[in-house]
Amino acid sequence: MKILKYILIMVVLLTLYITEPMWRVHKTTEVSQIDAQMKKQQDARNNLTAKEAEELRKLEEKFGKKPDLAYKSRVPKPLQEYWDRTLKKGEFIYDDICYGLTISNKGWTTTCQYQIKNKNGSSSGLKLNTFVIKDGVVVK
């Protein structure tokens, strides 16, 4: 039985020795065509993001810094302040959500859907409005 174990171990070692070139990691120093193409695409992406950053800087110069958004509703903070100023006492906004800030020729634009609840508990219907924010102030 001991001899059988030794023979089995020798067979496994011989198999590993013979197949070693197939599974061993080989160092290659040449750059494949795929790697060169990937590097070229990455460089193009970096240039594109640099151009986008430059465009964003110019837009922020013209229309002010891009407004920050509230955590869950994605409502820009200047818009929340605007709603706080314009709503009557006892009214509040609920079910508010805004769709991405985009740039237009007037400023940062967003479209929001929301409902206003009155102090007596009734609510107006669902409203969908587009708001323009310039220099951190809502310009409707």
- pLDDT tens sequence for the chain (140 residues): 788 889 999 999 999 889 888 877 777 666 678 888 888 888 888 887 888 888 888 888 888 888 888 777 788 889 888 888 888 888 888 878 888 888 888 888 999 888 888 888 788 778 888 999 988 888 87
| Rounded Cα distance, 3 and 9, in Å | 10
Integer Cα distance of 108 and 138 in angstroms = 9
Q: Outline where the chain has alpha helix (H).
A: 2-23, 33-63, 77-86
What is the rounded CA–CA span in Å between residue 67 and residue 81? 12
Residue 63 neighbours by CB distance under 10 Å: 21
